[in-house]
Structure 1
């Protein structure tokens, strides 16, 4: 299915958003800078929309040397032709830190993916085979079907897949999912795949999923049975530490925690709101339990502040710190 074309924005506004991204992400931002940015953001709806799109681009530079990221973004801001901009962005895949080396992923595929979600957004769509895909916050996927197989490519973030019956195909085609860390074959009607900092997490709700770290040619594969989870990297599987988060909760629009460390809870909640959300070390080991609606992040923060005696410091709407109540 094709996705609607994004709303066109004034190039001058996009340039302003890029300038703010450079100042906030790669330079020390003082309180005056934050206040000025907040004022700019609230001046016009187009400013907020431009920031939402450009901020996603900034996330692509995580782990890349700051000087290179600054040069790349400033180059885009200074009127570089589109082809030259894309070429320069692609350079990041080969001159960044070790986390980028050896992977086929550059910033461009997730930016140009067939289906994307913005920060704080969950989206649902249906593929030609009848499969239903849920995109979590700040996620991107492509699909590549041919007569022999169905392939879903996770470019960024997290998805839940309800496997379709593929009724219009003359023969049953296997369904595969590719992530940056390997490839998975679904023998399941519902499963989840999430890219994390420490690898790719796969969880099955029904049936099973076969995981091939690195590629489908990897001889060492693992089956993930219904009700189980597995974390893997290109070199193999890793120990998955259950931190008390229900991985399926976001599919119902909630974040559900069971005796979850506050620092981990805040890090998870930060995925669903733009800007910076931090937890002070002094309260990071407090524990959170409950089910909270993701549609209202500020309400979630207010509830945990009340139950755990916390203070929510809103330096700006986009710069929030959780500390101990005085």
Structure 2
């Protein structure tokens, strides 16, 4: 008796990618949502293909900058190009058996990074110099030490560094908008849509943007760095360091913003209806249990949480 096929076929992966484009980058109609539900229920492997493609979709962040920008451009003119680039996920995902190793030959930076995390994963690292590094969800770094310096490249995502002050070598951090330098700093870096968020807890960090004069950022400061290198104080509705303790800690954060944050930690799609997006959320939530977070939202706010599937959640007015 033949062994049942455990992995989705290439055609199912292609279909899942098509649905990802429609649901994540466009505004789906009620008809589109019904059609997606019908497709999802029509075969068990469709759900598996959707799960894996939706969690792998963020690998696009590791593509070269111009390609990634074209892929994620929201204009109608770019939608065909975006669809073509998302087809790369099929190559990443299957290779005949959904083998993770199949992604390696593509040479995508995040896939070949020294250390990386998947969606919802956080990771603690210890450098050979005694420095401590933490990676947040869906992040990747390269780390290179030499006699003269310590070099960390933020390939994508979010990280913290607690540099060992007993090591006299400068600690350099390379990012897509420029470099940072410290020796004894404790800092947080997060890529944003417009540049970088930099928060410094200890020590001093020298910021060397690619197209602006160097700047000093000191302990207690939290700044947003634009792609042009300009700095402005960061105004946040929560504790940016919370994830290092496994929590999402917020104060009067608009629900739409909160849902976007939560979506970083779970595969699939989480949508918030515009009618409830300005409701305020406060509290400390355990990131290890996003289902419980959604339950708490439904209990504490005038909203309902609808599960189209485990990987597609909508938050609407109650």
TM-score, normalised relative to structure 2: 0.79
> What stretches of structure 1 of length at least 5 have no aligned partner?
1-9, 88-107
Q: SS of the counterpart of 2:251?
A: strand
Q: CA RMSD in A?
A: 3.1
Matching residue of 2:65: none
The reply on whether 1:271 has 2:271 as its aligned counterpart is: no
Q: 1:41 to 1:244 in 2, by over 3 A?
A: farther
Q: CA deviation at 1:211?
A: 1.0
Q: Structure 1 CA distance, aligned partners of 2:145 and 2:11?
A: 39
Q: Equivalent residues in 2 for 1:125-164 (5 A)?
A: 125-164=125-164
- Report if the CA contact (8 A) 2:40-2:47 is conserved: no
The reply on whether 1:37 has 2:65 as its aligned counterpart is: no
Q: Structure 2 CA distance, aligned partners of 1:66 and 1:293?
A: 36
Q: Equivalent residues in 2 for 1:71-90 (5 A)?
A: 71-74=84-87, 77=90, 86=106
Q: 1:226 to 1:310 in 2, by over 3 A?
A: same
- Report if the CA contact (8 A) 2:165-2:183 is conserved: no
- Report if the CA contact (8 A) 2:208-2:215 is conserved: yes
Matching residue of 1:254: 247
Q: CA deviation at 1:24?
A: 1.7
The reply on whether 1:24 has 2:19 as its aligned counterpart is: yes
Q: CA deviation at 1:34?
A: 3.7
Q: Which segment is superposed worse, 205-214 or 19-28?
A: 19-28
Q: Structure 1 CA distance, aligned partners of 2:274 and 2:291?
A: 21
Q: SS of the counterpart of 1:110?
A: coil
- Report if the CA contact (8 A) 1:181-1:213 is conserved: yes
How many residues of Structure 1 are paired with residues of Structure 2 in the alignment?
A: 285
Q: Which of 195, 203, 219 is matched with 1:207 structurally?
A: 203
Q: Structure 2 CA distance, aligned partners of 1:175 and 1:197?
A: 25
Matching residue of 2:81: 68
Q: CA deviation at 1:21?
A: 4.2
Deviation by residue 1:20-55 (Cα, 9 ceiling, x = unmatched): 4421222465333345436646877xx688446633
Q: CA deviation at 1:77?
A: 4.3
Matching residue of 1:7: none
The reply on whether 1:54 has 2:56 as its aligned counterpart is: yes
Q: Structure 2 CA distance, aligned partners of 1:248 and 1:324?
A: 31
- Report if the CA contact (8 A) 2:177-2:195 is conserved: yes
TM-score, normalised relative to structure 1: 0.77
Q: Structure 2 CA distance, aligned partners of 1:20 and 1:144?
A: 40
Q: CA deviation at 1:207?
A: 1.2
Q: 1:132 to 1:14 in 2, by over 3 A?
A: farther
